[in-house]
Amino acid sequence: MDIKEYISSGIIESYVLGLASPEERSEFEQLCLVYPELAAARTEFEIALENRLMDLAVAPAEETKKKVMDSLRQQSSVNQTKIITMEKANTTRSSSSLRWVAAASVILLLGCVYLAYSFYSKNKKLESELTKTRDEQNKVKDQLKQLEMLTDPNVAVVNLKGTEKAPNTSASVYWDSTSASVYLVVKNMPQLPNDKQYQLWSIINGPGGQLQPSSMGLFDVGADGKIILKIDKGAKKADAFAITIEKRGNTGGPTLDSLQAMGKPNL
């Protein structure tokens, strides 16, 4: 803002003489705080006006002063007690209103804290529900895939028959030879001690009748004896699938003595 232009715009005279609009007044008062030269120019005009009006003074009637002073004394004596009570009322009112404000603030704060906490815990709950839902969704997706596997004509079902050592074993391999993906469905196998794991093998009849087993992965079976697994390692070719019991984390070949189940695909 060009303050010099503002100063000479007539706003000072307008303000001092009470002709400025409320908006102009508040703008002027704020600008006075920012521009000392504006306030100084205002004072200059005020003094000029004051001096001029002092020169133009007209003496009032003599009794006017007496009337004024009488009126003040009357007001004072009437208001003496009133003033005190009013002040009291004022202070109590202001302090009680302060108290109200304070009380309201505390209530507001408590309300905010409660809301924040409530939002926070709701959010937490929603987050955990979301995770749960996602997990469930993935599970359902897996199950759907498994169902698809079952109905896919390319998928061969290989029933693994329990050996003499484990006659109650019931397990199947779902094998998609085109995509090489393998699912293992265990319906009934006993839970093993902690140091043991089951291991699934795919077996190829090598040249000269040599069996070439290759590990499809180790797995655990829970107390209910059931599990459905997607085998990460695929099998393009397999003449048989077998399950053995091995020591946990086995990296060697199969222990044929502990063969639990075996089956051949009906190709």
Q: For residues 64 and 133, which CB has a smaller minimum distance to other proteins in the complex?
A: 64
Shortest spacing between CB 4 and other proteins, in angstroms: 14
Phi-psi region of 3 (alpha: psi -120 to 50; beta: other; left: phi over 0): alpha
Shortest spacing between CB 63 and other proteins, in angstroms: 8
Q: For residues 32 and 173, which CB has a smaller minimum distance to other proteins in the complex?
A: 32
3-state secondary structure labels for all residues of 47-97: HHHHHHHHHCCCCCCHHHHHHHHHHHHHHHHHHHHHHHHHHHHHHHHHHHH
Find where tokens 């140091």 sit.
195
Binding residues for other proteins, rule: CB under 8 A, are 8-19, 21, 29, 32-33, 42-43, 45-50, 52-54, 56-61, 64-65, 67-69, 71-73, 75-76
Separation between Cα atoms, residue 11 and residue 152, nearest integer Å: 90
Shortest spacing between CB 101 and other proteins, in angstroms: 23
Q: For residues 39 and 204, which CB has a smaller minimum distance to other proteins in the complex?
A: 39
Closest to 184 in 3D by CA, of 220, 151, 153, 229 = 229
Shortest spacing between CB 97 and other proteins, in angstroms: 19
Q: For residues 57 and 223, which CB has a smaller minimum distance to other proteins in the complex?
A: 57
Q: For residues 17 and 126, which CB has a smaller minimum distance to other proteins in the complex?
A: 17
Separation between Cα atoms, residue 183 and residue 72, nearest integer Å: 105
Question: CB-based contacts of 238: which residues, under 8 Å, 6+ apart?
Answer: 175, 202, 203, 204, 265
Shortest spacing between CB 41 and other proteins, in angstroms: 10
Phi, psi of 95 (to 5 degrees): -75, -35
Find where tokens 């019931």 sit.
170
Would you call 169 helix, strand, or coil by DSSP?
coil
Separation between Cα atoms, residue 198 and residue 220, nearest integer Å: 6
Shortest spacing between CB 3 and other proteins, in angstroms: 16
Tokens at 84, concatenated = 């005190």
Q: For residues 48 and 108, which CB has a smaller minimum distance to other proteins in the complex?
A: 48
Shortest spacing between CB 96 and other proteins, in angstroms: 21
